[in-house]
């Protein structure tokens, strides 16, 4: 690790962390402290973009002298909000995070950006673990294993859609590559902006690394309605970006469902077993409805 630290110091790669905020009062102080505690990385700037909130997020930011940019609700977009800050950045590496992650240690950021600094890849993302013993626990296990890996265009035939798996809950990308690829193409994406970017990175001939040693907690307890809405948006995204459908989309979803069921049975996780069918149905119906809406509009 010492040699990599020396390499980082020698090249002085500057990092900008970009984090959208909305009703983040319960997260912001702990999150901000964990970012400031990171070691061996030159953090040029932490950019918080706060959408008008109904809680005390803004008051907390002001009281603790934490800089932020305030935007109106109608201005927010998962893609455009990040893109606007990123295109103004003076950094060498852009780090995208979400407000609800919990950083496990002070080397999270170092482990995330080092593969970019040393030229191994141009983008990377962290391992995510759920705190809850629910379905998300198993989906996290499947999508974020214990071993790091690198994907490139050569893996598309074997991995299909999984080649473009990428999460900006905790991710990094070389700034020059983000600019070269025109970011999110000024599109207002309501979801899956991270996959959209990953596809462009991979198809441009670059590599992405999954960093299992850069770990965050990222946990949710979604209701069936919330799941339906998320997958409705995902269905719309997939239909609007139909070029992705050639990459075994249904097979990827079926593989995840089988993994969840197998793990729940092995651990005799009764709450998950009871939830499994309605959970998967909410996802499936949400996806199909979102796809149908887009296709109906295009006729």
pLDDT of 296: 87
> CA 71 → CA 17, 101, 184, distances in Å?
18, 22, 19
- Per residue, the 3-state secondary structure of 203-260, as one string, reads HCCCCEEEEEEEEEECCCCCCHHHHHHHHHHHHHHHHHCHHHHHCCHHHHHHHHHHHH
Mark which of 185, 217, 249 sits at the end of a domain.
217
Give the Cβ contact number of residue 151 at 10 Å: 22
Place of tokens 């020396």: 6
What value does the mean pLDDT of the chain take? 93
Same domain flag for 26 and 91: yes
Same domain flag for 197 and 233: no
Mind listing the pLDDT tens digit for each residue in 248-266? 665 677 888 999 999 999 9
**Residue in 9, 25, 118 with CA at minimum distance from that of residue 64:** 25
Same domain flag for 186 and 276: no
Number of domains making up the chain: 2
Which residues in 174-205 are b (16+ Cβ under 10 Å) and which e?
Answer: bbebbeebebbeeeebebbbbbbbbbbbbeee
- Per residue, the 3-state secondary structure of 170-201, as one string, reads EEEEEHHHHHHCCCCCCCCCCCCHHHHHHHHH
Average pLDDT value for residue range 287-297:
92
pLDDT of 128: 98
pLDDT of 11: 55
* CATH code, domain carrying 39: 3.90.550.10
| 252/259 Cα distance (integer angstroms) | 11
Residue ranges making up the domain that contains 255: 224-298
Mark which of 200, 217, 234 sits at the end of a domain.
217
Same domain flag for 119 and 252: no
Asked whether 132 and 221 are in contact (CB, 8 A), the reply is: yes
Same domain flag for 264 and 144: no
pLDDT at residue 166 greater than cutoff 90: yes
Mind listing the pLDDT tens digit for each residue in 65-107? 999 999 999 999 999 999 999 999 999 999 999 999 999 999 9
Same domain flag for 182 and 269: no
pLDDT at residue 51 greater than cutoff 60: yes
> CA 255 → CA 34, 159, 248, 259, 261, distances in Å?
35, 12, 11, 6, 10
Mind listing the pLDDT tens digit for each residue in 133-144? 999 999 999 999
DSSP state of 164: G
Mind listing the pLDDT tens digit for each residue in 180-193? 999 999 999 999 99
pLDDT of 7: 52
Mind listing the pLDDT tens digit for each residue in 263-288? 999 999 999 999 999 999 999 999 99
Token readout for 286 is 């949400």
Mark which of 217, 246, 261 sits at the end of a domain.
217
């Amino acid at each position: 690790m010492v040699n990599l630290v020396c390499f980082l110091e020698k090249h002085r790669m500057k990092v900008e962390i970009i984090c959208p905020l909305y009703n983040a009062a319960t997260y912001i102080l702990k999150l901000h402290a964990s970012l400031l505690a990171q070691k061996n990385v030159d953090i040029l700037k932490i950019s918080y973009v706060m959408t008008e909130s109904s809680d005390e997020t803004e008051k907390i930011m002001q009281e603790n002298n934490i800089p932020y940019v305030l935007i109106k609700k109608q201005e927010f977009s998962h893609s455009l909000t990040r893109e606007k800050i990123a295109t103004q950045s003076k950094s060498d590496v852009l780090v995208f995070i979400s407000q609800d992650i919990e950083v496990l240690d002070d080397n999270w950021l170092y482990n995330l950006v080092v593969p970019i600094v040393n030229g191994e890849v141009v983008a990377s993302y962290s391992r995510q673990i759920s705190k809850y013993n629910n379905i998300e626990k198993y989906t996290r296990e499947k999508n974020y294993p214990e071993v790091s890996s690198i994907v490139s265009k050569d893996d598309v035939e074997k991995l299909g859609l999984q080649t473009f798996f990428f999460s900006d809950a905790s991710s990094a990308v070389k700034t020059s590559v983000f600019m070269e690829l025109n970011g999110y193409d000024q599109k207002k994406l309501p979801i899956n902006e991270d996959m959209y970017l990953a596809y462009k990175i991979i198809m441009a001939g670059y590599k992405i690394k999954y960093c299992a040693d850069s770990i965050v907690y990222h946990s949710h307890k979604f209701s069936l309605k919330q799941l339906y809405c998320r997958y409705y948006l995902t269905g719309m995204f997939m239909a609007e970006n139909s070029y992705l459908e050639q990459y075994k989309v249904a097979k990827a979803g079926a593989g995840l469902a089988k993994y969840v069921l197998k793990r729940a049975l092995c651990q005799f996780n009764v709450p998950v077993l009871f939830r499994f069918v309605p959970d998967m149905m909410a996802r499936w119906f949400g996806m199909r409805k979102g796809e149908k809406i887009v296709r109906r509009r295009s006729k």
